[in-house]
Amino acid sequence: MNSLYIVIGTAGLYLLAYHTYGKFLAGKIFKIDPSFICPSKSMRDEHDYVPAKKEVLFGHHFTSIAGTGPIVGPAIAVIWGWVPALIWIVFGSIFMGAVHDFGALVVSLRNEGRSIGDIAGNVINKRIRILFLLIIFFSLWIILAIFGVVIAVVFNMFPQAVIPVWFEIPLALWLGYMVYKKGAPLLPYSVVAVIIMYITIVIGAFIPIKMPSFWGIDSTGWWVILLLLYTYIVSTLPVQVLLQPRDYINSHQLFIAMALLSLGVLFSRPEMIAPAVNFSPKGAPALWPMLFVVIACGSISGFHGLVSSGTTSKQCDCESNSLSIGYGGMLLEAMLAIFVLVACCAGIGMGLTENDEIFTGIAAFNHHYESWNAASGLGSKISAFVIGSANMIEITGIPKDILITIMGVFVVSFAATTLDTATRLQKFIVGELTKTCGYPSLSGRHAATSIAVLSALILAFYNGSGKGALTLWPLFGALNQLLAALILLVITVYLLRNKVSVIYTFIPMLLMTVMTAWAQIINLRKFYSDTNRLLFWIGMTVFILEIWMIIESLIIMKKIEVSDQSVPVQAVSENKSIPFT
């Protein structure tokens, strides 16, 4: 099949879904109220609670949820064929992921911008609050360590991305200062910022920067240390100083990169040379249920719910914006995953060079995806996307060296924004946990951020190399998806208490619970048989907490007498958090 049909068909389907199913959920299920005063205004503190323009907040939200997830997942899942991956991305994002992100954002908006883990204590019970906060802490702990190492690895793979990525920091500081302090118009200054950023990309293509190894720590380790130090600084700054403007600049990268990919597909029109279905690739686990955890961010991701209820809800200035940011943001990320699918299954067939040997067509795909082990490495996942994308876009006349730099910066920038946001989220979670456990002195901005960053640094260096977190990658997908199931569970109970139909969240929650628990059991058995004690005990601890939370939640759901205990959804228009009994 020609890849152009897939891109056009999927884009049309997403537009239809947004204007039908998305608006149905907004109007009939969550009953969005434009007059509701959001926490960003009622609790404004000029640090975390700061109202942002719709386009700025969309940029923050999208770049935070995207990261490398919608790139890595599809880039490896195509080993089972492009059809299963396409089906899961399309239908998973419309009926699960977008509902999950949108629901988490709305529930948080109506509860003072609190995190979904904190809200769980009101929706279900106080014991659930501790359990869920612990689950989120473990999940973010792994995410911080992994993404710190991922960015370090990509810097080593694409040293030409170093200059443009780090130059984004002073560029974002300048943009934030001009817009928030000087009252400069956003659009023209953001255009100037993006132009400067692409100038640095050209410079980076000719001046690659490689981190040296010294004092017994290799280049990856030093990048991890530098990145986590940077995230500490970012997390303690007000969001409008660096986080908002940098994410806004990165959102322009997305639109430019997707525009280039669209042009590449339109003019090159590569055929999908990968097999449509391959149920038994060499060394690969079973497609069912592993597809549901390998492709995470492109279909549904628990981390998205943390972003929606952690940072986005504290910056949303109007409840009606939650549809485009929550539901629309997920569909746009899924569209990115579709482009990744095309790059890996069609673009790579336009030319793959390894060891001075050139592969084209199906030979290129078979060489890159020779076996599960060959395709599962981090570098292999990212390079398949970068090479395939560069092959398609090269038809526009842009030199391939520049294209590879553009796509390398694209990957790193999105991973960096995820790292920034995850650190801020972990700061909130640590603060909530320490207050609950009777240690309020550890809940302050610097104390909580220090705990978040130092714990991630320890995990990254647990084997002494700075690459320790890469061994956690097999655990990441299953935990992330189980977290999504639990967030859908909280949203479901919230709707049930408000006399609203829960079928639209209950069915996705049930499917994700079953599939990801199944995948987690498979992973745990493998970790145990491989004597990988770190992965086994982290996975087992979180799994037990999640099972405990699900059981308690189901008991509560059974006890709820909707007619007596529920509060009408319209009560939120009074600008109060909905009380739960």
The mean per-residue pLDDT over the stretch 138-147 comes to 86
Query: Minimum mean pLDDT among 22-36, 123-137, 223-237: which range?
Result: 123-137
For residue 168, give both structure tokens. 């984004």
Q: Which of 74-78, 329-333, 348-352, 546-550 has the highest mean pLDDT?
A: 329-333
Number of helical (H) and strand (E) elements in the chain, helices listed first: 26, 2
Number of neighbouring beta carbons within 10 Å of residue 229: 12
Contact 348, 73 (CB under 8 A): no
pLDDT > 50? residue 486: yes
State residue 296's pLDDT score: 82
| Band of residue 190 on the pLDDT scale cut at 50, 70, 90 | confident
Contact 327, 342 (CB under 8 A): no
| Band of residue 88 on the pLDDT scale cut at 50, 70, 90 | very high
Counting Cα atoms < 13 Å in the Cβ hemisphere of 483 gives 33
- The Cα–Cα gap between 259 and 497 comes to 44
Counting Cα atoms < 13 Å in the Cβ hemisphere of 3 gives 31
For residue 182, give both structure tokens. 């000087």
pLDDT > 90? residue 374: no
For the stretch 238-253, pLDDT in tens is 888 888 888 888 888 8
For the stretch 316-332, pLDDT in tens is 999 999 999 999 999 99
SS3 labels along 209-273: CCCCCECCECHHHHHHHHHHHHHHHHHHCCCCCCHHHHHHHHHHHHHHHHHHHHHHHHHHCCECC
Counting Cα atoms < 13 Å in the Cβ hemisphere of 230 gives 21
pLDDT > 90? residue 473: no
For the stretch 342-372, pLDDT in tens is 999 999 989 887 777 888 899 989 888 887 7
pLDDT > 70? residue 443: yes
pLDDT > 70? residue 566: no
Domains and CATH numbers, the chain: 3-466+478-521+538-574 (1.20.1740)
State residue 578's pLDDT score: 42
State residue 564's pLDDT score: 43
Q: Which of 49-63, 124-138, 147-161, 404-418 has the highest mean pLDDT?
A: 49-63
* Among candidate residues 168, 50, 136, 73, the one with its CA nearest the CA of residue 416: 168
| Band of residue 471 on the pLDDT scale cut at 50, 70, 90 | low
- The Cα–Cα gap between 325 and 486 comes to 21
| Whole-structure pTM value | 0.88
The mean per-residue pLDDT over the stretch 133-157 comes to 86
DSSP per-residue codes, 435-470: HHTT-GGGSSHHHHHHHHHHHHHHHHTTTSSS-GGG
Number of neighbouring beta carbons within 10 Å of residue 256: 15
Which whole-number Å values give the CA distances from 541 to 319, 431, 451, 458, 534, in the listed order? 37, 21, 20, 18, 11
Which whole-number Å values give the CA distances from 52 to 58, 65, 180, in the listed order? 9, 17, 10
Q: Any bridge partners for residue 271, and if so which?
A: 2
Rounded to 5 degrees, what angle do the CA atoms 167, 171, 177 make?
A: 150
| Band of residue 305 on the pLDDT scale cut at 50, 70, 90 | very high
The mean per-residue pLDDT over the stretch 29-33 comes to 94
Q: Which residues contact 137 (CB under 8 A, 6 or more apart)?
A: 426, 429, 430, 433
Enclosing H/E stretch for 293: helix 287-294
pLDDT > 50? residue 516: yes
> Backbone phi, then psi, for 531, in 5-degree steps?
55, 35
Query: Residue type at 285?
Result: P
> Backbone phi, then psi, for 183, in 5-degree steps?
70, 25
Enclosing H/E stretch for 71: helix 69-77
Contact 229, 236 (CB under 8 A): no
State residue 35's pLDDT score: 93
Contact 373, 416 (CB under 8 A): no
**How high is the mean pLDDT of the chain?**
86
Question: 15-53 b/e with 16+ CB inside 10 Å = b?
Answer: eebbeebbeebbeebbbbbeebebbbeeeeeeebbbbbe
| Band of residue 266 on the pLDDT scale cut at 50, 70, 90 | very high
